[in-house]
Amino acid sequence: MAQWADIPFKDALFANADESILRRAPAAAENVYANQAEGFSRFPGLRSLLALPNEGRIYLHEWRDDLIAATERGRVYRIGKDLSVADVTGVPLVGGKRPVFAATEEQLVIATGGPLVSLSTDRTERLSDEAPESTHVAFVDGYLIAIEQNSGRFRFSDPGSYRVWNELSVFSADGKPDNLVAVAVTPYRELLLCGPESIEQFERLSNGARPFARRWSTGEGLAHPYTLVTDLAGTYGVNERSEMTRFNAQVSREQSRAIALALEEVEDWTDAWAASIAIKGQRMVLLQAPRAVSEAHGATGVTFLLDYRASKWSFLWGWDSQNGRPDRWPGWSIASAWGRTFVGVEDGIAEARADEYSVLGKPMRALWRSAHIDSFGPSRMDDLRIRLKRAVGGYQGREPQMMVRVNRDNGKWSDWVFRGLGAPGDTRMVVDFGGFGWAHSWQLEVAITDAVPVEFVSAQARMERGSW
């Protein structure tokens, strides 16, 4: 007798094995994230907000209740809450590296691999002729700190006098003989000095001739400096084994076991970056390798999303309208201001919004794909039903659609079966898709391309076993 059986829907994505051998964990989750109700929600879309023509990549930072935009071309803009834009470029940013920002009580300092640049009034200026040219700068307890390029040393300003840099104000992070590639200050005022083979924490000394002392070091390093993220829950970064790792005191824990194969397949980590982002009360880390080639879609640029509380991963994609396939998620930076989340994109600024369901006006395909489920044995699927949010309204003059297809015994995919997501007032939560025949193993793929909210709750199949 046929019985309803749950499709493994709430399990974490697993991309650390060939998809054909998966039996339970989902094989794909794109432009969705695991919500706290054990379902999947659509990731916020991107709505174009401001254009900065011919400025290339835009890197954002919140400062003094304004949004600061540093551009690939070296200019700096200050954006007010009313979205007024002021070009505050006096001295341009040079060095060609991704901007790193550090705020003191009186100025914002920007490092890009050349001279440090300061913004304190209405124009940027060189911070000091005495300060080193650096890729990274940080501020803690009255000191500005900058790493020396291609060395294991870091320099610091006089306390409270950020334009005064004494040649003797220098320390070495020499736990291992590797060069420093990044510096950061955690929310707990820990000063982290990072090299490819080790990370060392220095603490501020309240007295004595030496302002800093090394407290501990780890055996893990930071291979890609702009993947470093400091958060209340810990510090994250990609190490030399292409693992996303969480550092806490002297302990480091890999966070990417579920997608280790996908990270190992990244051959080019150039310009890789990471940032934290909050979505409907959930805290995430977004990691992008913009020059990686996707094995799944053939696109250049792969973006990973980690919900570090639930230890669940998913992937983010934009859309290539010309070739009709996913493309790199178009963000280059993330910053929060005025209770909103902004994303720096090519030649402009976008806003990540929970009520936006496209990416800069292009489709944002939400997709979930199961493992090859064989727990039913030889069986017939008489019906498939999916519970999700419906009554999402009209879309371009028609009822929005969702689609499902089935892969039986790892053969060919069936044709897509379409069902409506409900006109206004049609609040029934379950959608039936009918039967899909006989098989030993079943793989399901669910997708929505229309610009509507997506809230997947659960899925069940009515199965008739062929034998017991």
pLDDT digit string (tens) for 184-204?
Answer: 999 988 899 999 999 999 888
Mean pLDDT of 115-121: 95
393 band by pLDDT with thresholds 50, 70 and 90:
low
pLDDT on residue 395: 58
List pLDDT tens digits, range 57-100: 999 999 999 999 999 999 999 999 999 999 999 999 999 999 99
Give me the chain's average pLDDT, please.
92
Tokens 């020499």 belong to 174
pLDDT on residue 214: 84
Nearest Cα neighbor of 204 from 156, 132, 146 is 156
pLDDT on residue 208: 66
Topology of domain 3-43+367-465 in CATH is Jelly Rolls (2.60.120)
Q: Has this prediction a pTM greater than 0.85?
A: yes
Mean pLDDT of 311-318: 96
**Pairwise CA distance, residues 271 & 302, whole Å:** 12
119, β-bridge pairs: 108, 124
**Pairwise CA distance, residues 200 & 173, whole Å:** 7
Domain parsing of the chain, residue ranges = 3-43+367-465
pLDDT on residue 49: 96
**pLDDT above 70 (res 391):** no
Backbone angles phi, psi at 466, to 5 degrees: -80, -25
pLDDT on residue 81: 96
Q: Indicate the burial class of 397 (C-beta count within 10 angstroms; 0-12, 13-18, 19 or more).
A: exposed
Nearest Cα neighbor of 388 from 370, 401, 375 is 401
**pLDDT above 60 (res 468):** no
- CA 259, 261, 290, 178 dihedral sign is positive
The helix (run of H) or strand (run of E) holding residue 263 is helix 260-264
**pLDDT above 70 (res 467):** no
Of 198 and 334, more confident: 334
- Long-range contacts: 416-422, Cβ < 8 Å, 24+? 421/388, 421/390, 421/391, 421/392, 421/448, 421/450, 421/452, 422/390, 422/391, 422/392
User: In sequence order, which ranges of 266-403 are alpha helices (DSSP H)?
Assistant: none
Q: Indicate the burial class of 65 (C-beta count within 10 angstroms; 0-12, 13-18, 19 or more).
A: exposed
Percent of the chain predicted with pLDDT > 90: 75
